Amino acid sequence: MSHLAQLPADGDALPLASDEVLFLFKCEWDSICSFWEHDAGANAAFVVQRTDLGAGPTALPSDPADGSPALLREIAITGWHADDDGAPAELEEAFYDYQAHFDLPDEVKHPHDWASPWCTKSGGVPYWTANGAQLMPAGRLFLQIDNWLELPGGECVEVANFCSDGIAYVFVDRSQAKPAYSMFINR
């Protein structure tokens, strides 16, 4: 698995406990990853206490047969822009049900017409790809990351292998004693 993201708590923008850091990992192999399954081992999402982290980067693990995992581009998030995602609050449940989401008018289910800056976000309802709300884990959207990010200055860069047009969705299930995080990729 390749390290996709390391995100510290950031108030309402990334509501983790103040001493937690969210780690996201994904499989970068083209042929063996079930990226669409949140519980198949191709993706991982979990929190680590900040005090348990070392002072510098951790060395990549290496497998004698496969070598080291792919090293993904390092991109820093310098802040979050707060805005309304355009989804009416009374329709929130429809964004977590395949048929109900499918039946929504296009201007409701895709209020920003798949504009890339809106596809990476923290909180709100999932801004689904054309495949819609399918194979979701328990819980609610915590974070989503688009395959492409727009950098300051207008340059667009590919984050990781999300099958060219996918979005990584991170869900949190707060119904458990300790919140459980999961990640999957939808395209």
Could you give the angle at the alpha carbon of 143 between the alpha carbons of 44 and 37, nearest 5°?
A: 40
Higher per-residue confidence, 84 vs 22 = 22
Q: Is the pLDDT of residue 95 over 90?
A: yes
| Across 151-179, average pLDDT | 86
Q: Is the pLDDT of residue 90 over 90?
A: yes
The string of pLDDT tens digits covering residues 39-75 is 776 788 999 998 888 777 767 667 777 777 777 777 7
The string of pLDDT tens digits covering residues 111-135 is 888 777 788 889 999 999 888 888 8
d(CA 123, CA 101): 18
Q: Is the pLDDT of residue 32 over 70?
A: no
pLDDT at 125: 92
Mean pLDDT, the chain, integer? 84
pLDDT category at 93 given cuts 50, 70, 90 is very high
pLDDT at 2: 79
d(CA 144, CA 30): 21
Q: Is the pLDDT of residue 38 over 80?
A: no
pLDDT at 170: 94
